[in-house]
């Protein structure tokens, strides 16, 4: 199994969710997060004063899938989240050693 984490722009969440649903991904977790990368935040003017916004709002998605589905999930996220502008985000993939469905006790791929 693989755990895929993606950090994307908030307005791309629905497109990513639809792309994953089309692949048969049955579940995911999404968080509202803040962060920055190469874009280093930006400046905003509020009531006549200029402020530096260091942390930009993002969405973090976590998904666990079987090994054979992982490359297609990665590509679906990239395709759906891309705007070709700075700050589009990142996708990270990790080995997932175990999964247990608490309700039934199912383990591994059956727990997904």
The answer for residues whose C-beta is within 8 angstroms of residue 29's C-beta and 6 or more apart is: 61, 62, 63
For residue 40, what pLDDT is reported? 67
The tens digit of pLDDT for each residue in 5-62 reads 999 999 999 999 999 999 999 899 999 998 877 766 666 677 787 777 778 889 999 9
For residue 30, the model assigns a pLDDT of: 98
Number of H helices, E strands in the chain: 2, 6
Residue 100 sits in a domain of what CATH number?
A: 3.30.70.120
Please, what sign has the CA dihedral across residues 52, 5, 29, 17?
positive
pLDDT at 53: 72
Please count the structural domains in the chain. Answer: 1
pLDDT of residue 67: 96
Read off the pLDDT of residues 62-110 as tens digits, 9 standing for 90 and up. 999 999 999 999 999 999 999 998 889 999 999 999 999 999 999 999 9
**Would you state the structure tokens that stand for residue 33, as one six-digit string?**
């997060």
Range of the domain at 35: 2-111
Residue 42, pLDDT score? 64
Helix (H, G, I), strand (E, B) or coil at 62: strand
Q: What pLDDT shows up at residue 68?
A: 96
**CA–CA gap between residue 27 and residue 25 (Å, rounded):** 6
């Amino acid at each position: 199994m693989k755990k895929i984490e993606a950090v994307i722009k908030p307005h791309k969440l629905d497109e990513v969710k639809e792309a994953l649903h089309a692949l048969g991904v049955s579940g995911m977790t999404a968080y509202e997060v803040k962060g920055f990368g190469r874009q280093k935040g930006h400046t905003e003017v509020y009531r006549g004063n200029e402020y530096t916004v260091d942390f930009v709002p993002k969405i973090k998605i976590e998904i666990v899938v079987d090994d054979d589905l992982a490359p297609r999930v990665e590509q679906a996220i990239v395709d759906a989240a891309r705007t070709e502008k700075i700050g589009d985000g990142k996708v990270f993939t990790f080995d997932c050693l175990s999964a247990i469905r608490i309700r039934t006790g199912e383990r591994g791929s059956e727990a997904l």
